[in-house]
Structure 1
Amino acid sequence: MKIVARVHAFPPEHNAGAEHMLVSMLRPLVERGHDVSVWLSRYGQAHKEYEYRGIKVIPLESRLDFSSAVRRADVLLAHLETVPSTASLARGYGKPLVVVCHNTHRPTFRDMAAGGTALAVYNSRWMEAEAEVFFAEYPKSIRPASSLIVRPPVFAGEYATKPGKAVTLVNCNPEKGGKVLRALAERMPEQEFLAVRGAYGEQILPDLPNVEIVEHVDGQDMREKVYARTRVLLMPSSYESWGRAGVEALASGIPVLAHPTPGLCESLGEAGIFVDRQDINGYEAVLRKLATAAEYRLASKRAKARSAELDPAEDLAAWCSAVESLAR
């Protein structure tokens, strides 16, 4: 099969959870012998075609014949901002369209329900439930022909390492918890913190002696550059539809201290340690509790157990079968 994906940006230049979820979903299709290509819709630093984890990536500047690729494709795939334009081409050329939904915002469901979606992919049970709410509120919307839950696949062996000493935040914008990191670093001068620059949003990067700023990291390097240096991962996000970084950390038995968004509650399960993002005292108390060996050992054990529960093999097998069925 020829599978053509249209996305706005891609690793290694752009390393957000949505893009790395897509990488993890496309890799098994490549391994099954399919021709998978990703066509970028925005200009970036890459000027020539390149390969990422076995996936062909075509920057916008390198080729202008995307419509020709669509015509030759067996299946089209889109997510986020590329859904409306790709859906139009899918309808024009009579191609099945797969839409990967990464959040529960109304435009996500609206664009997916505009017509012609052969397969909708939700990243969690709660997102699927929110989609049902949308269709109940807008009964004239066109439901996808089929749908599937694929939890953002994390191959634990690619992330597992020996935890380090730092308290870490990945993507330091305000919505992800940049202000929480700064407040905790000011309160706990004896504790080492890592502030990892994110792929998007205004970054709050404290100029403090106990905070090391780590520049934007390619997903392939997260184990060495981030998790091998991390003792506790912070996720005081105002919104997470799932929270891939938290699941990556679980693979190493790294406890995750998070705000209880529906997505994080589902992804982290009983391994998550949940404190409201406004409760800085609560975050500090948990970090001091985890400084004791006994408490940390128990939290780490729960993290590894949850990581094992999230083995992506079953989800990915169902995903590959669903895509392959579209071309029959």
Structure 2
Amino acid sequence: MARAVPASAPDGAAKPLSIVARVHAAPPEHNAGAEHMLISMLRPLVERGHQVEVWLSRYGKAHEVYEYRGVRVVPLEARLDFPSAVRRADVLLSHLECVPSTASLARGYGKPMVVVCHNTHRPTFRDAAAGQTALAVYNSRWMEAEAELFFAEYPKAVRPERSLIVRPPVFADEYATKPGKAITLINCNAEKGGTTLAALARRMPDQQFLAVRGAYGEQILPDLPNVEVVEHVDGSEMRERVYARTKVLLMPSVYESWGRAGVEALASGIPVVAHPTPGLCESLGEAGVFVDRFDVDGYEAVLGKLLGDPAEYRLASKRARARSRELGPAADLTAWCGAVEGLV
């Protein structure tokens, strides 16, 4: 695969940096959008010659240090000394629950801190505003706007020194395939739309459905002859195990700050039928087919039209591929790498 970004900065080779991330979990054991966004952001830094490590804060199955897509991952069970990694780091990075503790170490050791924000919940912005955040990364324009509202509401909060929008990078060639025949939901908990999938499967007994077990939340996995349950899938296997079998992707989520799975599906020209959250409206754009998550009749009608009218499906598929091209991550990742390199 071609590089996502240039191998060096525009004015020559960038100084090799030690970049240390502290997060709660990582692929291949934990495959959620936040974790794959982070890996996709770290990969180009590795390509540019930087030493990148991800240190995990929760116990899992791995006991030895491993490499995932070029990124060195240190499980908690490896029992290595994280403060030693912090001391030798040039830049610290974190997201979600690990931000407060990592930010404390950054302040203590005088290291620049990068906070990747994956949602618009107030704790996310409070953690990023705890002081001395050198760079805050927002995954969408609407998240950046929500952050501005937060700082207007809490004028005493300490703004990050700099902020940047990096849309969750999806390398389309790693996901693109020929669509299959199933209607698919990825992560079948209630908030992602597990009940909607179950209702549609009962209404459409002749249609094949895929219920992909998610990384978190209680899964709603209907025991129906037309529903196949796919166990938790590593991101590197999504093309073969999920998208190559998918005709239409469902995203009736109550909340999505962006919706990475939808963008992955677009790479194959797979139409996405989604609840109009602000994040999904921004990520899917004109390629999205939006139906309120409580309108099961509406979902059934849209699916009937897409599956029953080849011309309608071809048009939706064409829009999906066009949107995938628009979301190519090279420009975002070049700006991201430059921002990290500029912290030192």
TM-score range, shorter chain: over 0.9
2:168 is the counterpart of 1:168: no
- Distance in 1 (CA, whole Å) between partners of 2:146 and 2:79 is 38
Q: Does 1:40 align with 2:56?
A: yes
Aligned residues: 327
Find the aligned partners of 1:298 and 1:27 in 2 and give their Cα distance. 34
1:319 aligned onto 2:336: yes
What residue is the counterpart of 1:90 in the other structure? 106
1:313 is aligned with what amino acid? A
Aligned residue number for residue 27 of structure 1: 43
Q: Which residue of 1 aligns with 2:325?
A: 308
Q: How do 1:1-328 and structure 2 match up within 5 A?
A: 1-291=17-307, 292-327=309-344
Deviations, residues 151-176 of structure 1 (Å, cap 9, x unaligned): 00000000000000000000000000
- Helix, strand or coil: the match of 1:141? coil
| Amino acid paired to 1:126 | W
Give the match's secondary structure for 1:61: helix
Deviation at 1:116, TM superposition (A): 1.2
Moved over 2 A (4+): none
Q: Distance in 2 between matches of 1:49 and 1:237?
A: 35
State how far apart, in whole Å, the 1-side matches of 2:276 and 2:77 are. Answer: 41
Counterparts of 1:235 and 1:306, CA distance in 2: 17
Q: Which secondary structure does the structure 1 equivalent of 2:292 belong to? A: coil
TM-score, scaled relative to structure 1:
0.99
Structure 1 residue 61: deviation in Å?
1.3
In 1: Cα distance, 2:157 partner to 2:264 partner: 36
Residue by residue over 1:176-232, the C-alpha shift from the partner in whole angstroms, topping out at 9 and shown as x without a partner, is 000000000000001000000000000000000000000000000000000000000
Identity of aligned residues (%): 83
Alpha-carbon RMSD across the aligned residues, in angstroms, is 0.4
Write out per-residue CA displacement over residues 115-156 of structure 1, whole angstroms, 9 at most, x where no aligned residue. 010000000000000000000000000000000000000000
TM-score by length of 2: 0.95
Structure 1, unaligned runs of 5 or more = none
Q: CA deviation at 1:63?
A: 2.5
Q: Which runs of 5+ in 2 are unaligned?
A: 1-16
Give the Å deviation of 1:64.
3.6
In the TM superposition, residue 101 of structure 1 has moved relative to its aligned partner by 0.1
1:91-111 deviations in Å (ceiling 9; x for gaps):
000000000000000000001
